[in-house]
């Protein structure tokens, strides 16, 4: 999986999976703050954010990779 990134005015680098086809489907973007991962809806980047601790994020990604 590859990721594309964008850097909005907030200074964070947001990443979106290459599995996102760009056809307006459901997708999220993530950004790392150093102490947490932020998750947002790619279609509404000005909307709310979900903040997840780095350890919890790592556990989530490992579990998701197992399928």
Tell me how far apart the alpha carbons of residues 29 and 45 are, in angstroms, rounded to a whole number: 9
pLDDT score of 1: 38
Q: Which two tokens stand for residue 12?
A: 């964070």
pLDDT score of 11: 82
Q: Which two tokens stand for residue 17?
A: 């999976």
The domain in which residue 52 lies consists of: 3-65
pLDDT in tens, 11-64: 889 988 777 666 656 788 899 998 999 999 888 888 889 999 999 999 999 998
Q: Which two tokens stand for residue 10?
A: 């907030």
pLDDT score of 42: 85
Q: Which two tokens stand for residue 26?
A: 């459901």
3-state secondary structure of 47: coil
pLDDT score of 3: 43
Tell me how far apart the alpha carbons of residues 10 and 41 are, in angstroms, rounded to a whole number: 16
Domain count, the chain: 1
């Amino acid at each position: 999986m590859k990721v594309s990134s964008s850097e909005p005015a907030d200074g964070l680098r947001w990443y979106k999976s290459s599995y996102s086809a760009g056809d307006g489907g459901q997708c999220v973007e993530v950004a790392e703050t150093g102490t947490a991962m932020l998750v947002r809806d790619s279609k509404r980047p000005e909307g709310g954010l979900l903040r997840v601790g780095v350890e919890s994020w790592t556990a989530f990604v490992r579990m998701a990779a197992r399928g």
